[in-house]
Structure 1
């Protein structure tokens, strides 16, 4: 009888220990789910604040007086939306290298400035020339550059902000070129104040909310896409 009671007690203790482990695991899972839900909610709110930054920039560009304060050379404009701190900047596509007509030598120089080896940069320039001579369709999205033989993901990540599908210029406009671009192509340093940034702009909006939650949104927009259009701009590219 005593032996049976001992076995029963051990069984009860084993069941209690197993239940404790299960309840502990369940509590940990619930806590993890709560944290993930909180992060997702806060990140979504930060992203919405970044979208508000884009909207505020577009509102300013539609106002002739405010537009003069927004220089499309990357300088930041501090703004506030609800409880989020915003840093919004404009970049003109005219300061970038136009993929569909730029000299392949300039493409190679930019690749070198972005960390490519001499052999890698030369190969990329040749591949770009071969693509053009083959009569293939022009680049339609920036990501197509990633398909060039010899292009690595790391190099693409550094070059992507410097190349354009919409500038239409044979060489970047020095007034809107980044320091990296000016160095790569030996462009003169010019002020963007009072210069025409063109109709295609990149709006870079960064939002910071209390608690350290943040989000960034980069959108390429075409101003005044057509006469009679209901929208004052058209989104060409959207990057979160």
Structure 2
């Protein structure tokens, strides 16, 4: 009898232990799910807020009232939407350096501003997009990229989106998206005509107003998320603006 009671007690203890472990595991899973849901909710809220700011900027750029109309002059402006504060900046895109057309010395000048090994990374950019497989003295071609994990190949064509720069030797997300300027994303473009590095203090001589057919960059920051869009001003079309490029990122 006592043997049976002992076995029963051991069985009960095992059941209690298993139930306790199940409760702990379930609690951890619930906390993980709740935390993930809260994180998703914050991200979705920032996303919607930033795009609301982008649409608001497009509207204010074309207001008929000159006092209320925004000028694409690079001035940082503040918006409040649903009680949240946004920073918005609109500026001409053609003043930035075009990485598809710039020469090595111009690229090196911009890369030096963001603290990179200027000559090495400039040559790596040129190697990444040229058609041959012969690396420049400080550059990198297919042999280098095939040795990475995972391996990949240079695009051997002009860059199509700015994110492709992340695959170039010497460039990472911190350089492209960092929170504090200068960040590479702010200095280069694929849609402007400039092939030489802008000089310090250089400004556009024309009046800061929208020009038909010209590209403009709109940057909206919620404090956590940044949305950047390059749009073309086409006043005689239904949408007035055509989006050429758009990206979202969390500054590091």
Query: Do structure 1's residue 152 and structure 2's residue 171 form an aligned pair?
Result: yes
1:195 correspondence with 2:205 = no
Structure 1: give runs of 5+ residues left out of the alignment. Answer: 173-184, 209-213
1:176-215 → structure 2 map (5 Å cutoff): 186-190=199-203, 194-196=207-209, 199-207=214-222, 214-215=224-225
* Alignment-derived partner of residue 236 in structure 1: 244
Could you tell me how far apart the structure 2 residues matched to 1:105 and 1:126 are?
A: 11
Distance (Å, rounded) in 2 between the aligned partners of 1:77 and 1:192: 22
Larger fraction in helix: 1
**SS of aligned partner of 2:44:** helix
Structure of greater relative contact order (alpha carbons < 8 Å, 6+ residues apart): 1
The answer on whether the counterparts of 1:104 and 1:128 sit within 8 Å (CA) in structure 2 is no
C-alpha distance in 2, partners of 1:160/1:88? Answer: 16
* Residue 107 of structure 1: aligned partner: 107
Instruction: Identify if the C-alpha distance between structure 1 residues 42 and 218 changes in structure 2 by more than 3 Å, giving closer, same or farther.
Output: same
C-alpha spacing 1:7/1:193, structure 2 compared with 1 (3 Å): farther
Equivalent-residue separation in structure 1 for 2:79 and 2:96 (angstroms): 26
Number of equivalent positions: 217
The 10-residue stretch of structure 1 (1-10 or 195-204) with the greater mean CA deviation from structure 2:
195-204
When normalised by structure 2's length, the TM-score is: 0.72
What is the DSSP-based 3-state SS (H/G/I as helix, E as strand, rest coil) of the residue aligned with 2:76?
strand
Following superposition of structure 1 onto structure 2, how do residues 115-194 of structure 1 map, counting pairs within 5 Å? 115-117=115-117, 119-121=119-121, 123-124=123-124, 127=127, 138-146=158-166, 150-153=169-172, 157=176, 158-171=183-196, 186-190=199-203, 194=207
RMSD (Å) for aligned C-alpha atoms: 3.2
Check conservation: 1:220, 1:236, Cα contact below 8 A. Answer: yes
> 2 CA distance for matches of 1:117 and 1:34?
44
Query: Structure 1, residues 190-213: CA drift from partner, whole Å, max 9, x if none?
Result: 4789335652112111225xxxxx
Counterpart CA distance in 1 for 2:124 and 2:184 is 12
Superposed displacement of residue 159, structure 1: 2.7
C-alpha distance 67-131 of structure 1, shift in aligned 2 (>3 A): farther
3-state SS of 1:204 partner = strand
> Following TM superposition, by how much is the alpha carbon of 1:7 offset from its aligned partner in structure 2, in angstroms?
1.8
